[in-house]
Amino acid sequence: MMTTRLATFSPRSRLKWLVALTSGLLVAASVCAQDKPALKIVTGFPPGGSVDILSRVVADAMRDDFSSVVVENKPGAAGRIALNQVKLAKPDGQTVIILPMGPMVLFPHTFKKLDYDGFKDFTPVSQLALSNFAVVAGPSSGVSSISEMLVKVKANPSVGNYGTSGAGTLPHFLGVLMEQSTGIAFNHVPFQGGAPANTALLGGHIQYNIDVVSEALPLHRDGKVKILAVLGAERDPLLPNVQTLKEQGVNLESAVWFAMYAPAGLAPDVLARLEKAVGAAIRKPDVSEKLAKLGYVPKGTTSRELASIHRADFARWEKPIKATGISLD
């Protein structure tokens, strides 16, 4: 039918008709693009670490809701550089950060001066996932259990070097609390993220790591490192044969959550769109399965739920952190 009608047009009329049709398609495409803005996810840690891996899984799952989704790594200062970048970003829902709980929950209790306020400068979007921590032994440690580690380090503190993803991070505090619980001194070696710490562990530059299970698990499965204990209240389902730290006589337990935040001042409809998109992404069966295999417990909370979790953990960690005596800057 279209061919018959078009054939009756003069060449000039057909040209005008095609121009109008093309213009209409371009306008429609433009409207579509406006309906689906671009999204930039910033992380404060290097590629290959737990935060980076989680960010990329989430980014891939959110592509249907945005014209493009990119992950930008801004490592340094245990995530504070990235936080300050996102703090200054336009509150249009196109720039967010994915980070572990430390910068929001722990840093305000340890750094005398911070360039951001976790409550005032950011909008909670969603808690994405949880992960257990693990005490990990490298090839140079020569130990296969927590008891062996404690005996060896007590006899020779120079072989008690443990790495973390940065000074003032939750793994750092867990190391200090482990020292206080056991009465044995270790030497903390901070890195710019979990991936560099693992490189040092594999190279024999440090003997141990305190790391999230999601990051240590692949190396443990390949036999390159050994997870000596998990710090959860119960054994990790991915490591049923690995005892908790409490089972091995050290009274310490903790997990870490990862979340998405946006700059402060997001309009309610913009926040609702972000919250809906990330919630749908986390609930996709393939995404939940992928995260579980990587050692995460998928969550996908509302903005209000994350805000409540943030406030509660901020208060819960104040006394334990002050008890460590750590003050940074």
The full set of domain ranges for the chain reads: 38-130+256-324, 132-248
Contact 50, 212 (CB under 8 A): yes
Look at residues 122, 118, 155, 160 and name the one whose alpha carbon lies nearest to residue 141.
Answer: 160
Please give the model's pTM, rounded to 2 decimal places.
0.79
Looking at the predicted structure, is the pLDDT value of residue 228 above 60?
yes
Q: What is the pLDDT of residues 19-55, one digit of tens each?
A: 555 555 544 444 444 578 999 999 999 998 889 999 9
Looking at the predicted structure, is the pLDDT value of residue 6 above 70?
no
CA distance linking residue 233 with residue 224, whole number of Å: 26
Mean pLDDT over 264-272 rounds to 96
Look at residues 280, 294, 303 and name the one whose alpha carbon lies nearest to residue 52.
Answer: 294
Q: Cα–Cα–Cα angle for 55, 56, 62, nearest 5°?
A: 90
DSSP string, 27-67: HHHHHHHHHS-EEEEEESS-TTSHHHHHHHHHHHHTGGGSS
Strand pairing category for 208-212 and 122-137: antiparallel
Q: What is the pLDDT of residues 296-324, one digit of tens each?
A: 989 999 999 999 999 999 998 998 888 88
Is domain 38-130+256-324 classified as CATH 3.30.200.20? no
CA distance linking residue 171 with residue 261, whole number of Å: 21
Looking at the predicted structure, is the pLDDT value of residue 239 above 90?
yes
Mean pLDDT over 127-146 rounds to 95
- Average per-residue pLDDT for the chain: 89
Q: What is the pLDDT of residue 207?
A: 98
Kindly report the backbone phi and psi dihedral angles of residue 67, in degrees, each rounded to the nearest multiple of 5, phi listed first.
-65, -30
Mean pLDDT over 74-88 rounds to 93
Burial class of residue 240, CB neighbours in 10 A (0-12, 13-18, 19+): exposed
Phi-psi region of 79 (alpha: psi -120 to 50; beta: other; left: phi over 0): left
CA distance linking residue 248 with residue 264, whole number of Å: 44
Kindly report the backbone phi and psi dihedral angles of residue 262, in degrees, each rounded to the nearest multiple of 5, phi listed first.
-125, 170
Looking at the predicted structure, is the pLDDT value of residue 13 above 80?
no
Q: Cα–Cα–Cα angle for 190, 196, 198, nearest 5°?
A: 95
Residue 65 tokens, joined: 């809701």
Confidence of residue 168 (pLDDT cuts 50, 70, 90): confident
Look at residues 205, 211, 215 and name the one whose alpha carbon lies nearest to residue 230.
Answer: 211
Q: What is the pLDDT of residue 24?
A: 53
Contact 295, 232 (CB under 8 A): no
Residue 201 tokens, joined: 């562990």
Q: What is the pLDDT of residue 31?
A: 42
Q: What is the pLDDT of residue 147?
A: 96
CATH number, span 132-248: 3.40.190.10
Q: What is the pLDDT of residue 7?
A: 44
Strand pairing category for 95-100 and 38-43: parallel
Q: Cα–Cα–Cα angle for 129, 229, 133, nearest 5°?
A: 25
Looking at the predicted structure, is the pLDDT value of residue 174 above 60?
yes
Burial class of residue 178, CB neighbours in 10 A (0-12, 13-18, 19+): buried
Looking at the predicted structure, is the pLDDT value of residue 94 above 50?
yes
Residue 276 tokens, joined: 């809906």
Asked if the domains at 38-130+256-324 and 132-248 fall in one CATH topology, the answer is yes
Q: What is the pLDDT of residue 258?
A: 96
